[in-house]
Amino acid sequence: MDDRDATIGDNFDIAAVLNDLYANEINASIAWIRDRGFRATLGDPRLAEKWFHSSGEAVRWLRRQAPLHYPQTEFTHALDRIAVRIDTILDDLYANEISGSISWIWRGGFYTTLGAPKQADDWAFPSVDDAVEWLTEQAVARYPESEFARKHGGFE
């Protein structure tokens, strides 16, 4: 399942790629399910979908698929800039068996869900960074005994 692209470094910024997809008016989502992995979906209606072991692999694939289906796609953010490690947060949610998703429809903002069955959801976040911050806060509050809460809740 390792779909590495030699043009995308190991430290690429997931937020930059997802924000660029949104800015290009490309509908997409990334969801993680307890023991299944990460599902990346491009388009609404769906044009392409694939499962991965990590959030980084899923986003790399979305970045490669977008220009195939939307030739005018432009990625403007630097791929190797230093950024908050959103992939760490998403991968930690998955490792703690806390399911969730981030999706968007152009001009609607980012929509997030937490839990399976769904325990919380919110929408209209202006950026993926804001959506992940909300997911982190909700996971810490709803799963206070988890390793995720200990790691990301400031209780270390």
pLDDT tens readout for residues 59-75: 999 999 999 999 999 88
- Decide if 36 contacts 45 (C-beta within 8 A): no
Kindly indicate the confidence band of residue 11, based on its pLDDT and cuts at 50, 70 and 90: low
Q: Please give the model's pTM, rounded to 2 decimal places.
A: 0.81
Kindly indicate the confidence band of residue 5, based on its pLDDT and cuts at 50, 70 and 90: very low
Measured between alpha carbons, how far is residue 108 from residues 22, 26, 104, 124, 142 in Å?
10, 12, 7, 6, 26
Q: What is the pLDDT of residues 98-127, one digit of tens each?
A: 999 999 877 788 999 999 888 888 888 998
- Decide if 93 contacts 142 (C-beta within 8 A): no
Local structure of residue 130 (DSSP, 8 states)? H
pLDDT at residue 155 in the model? 58
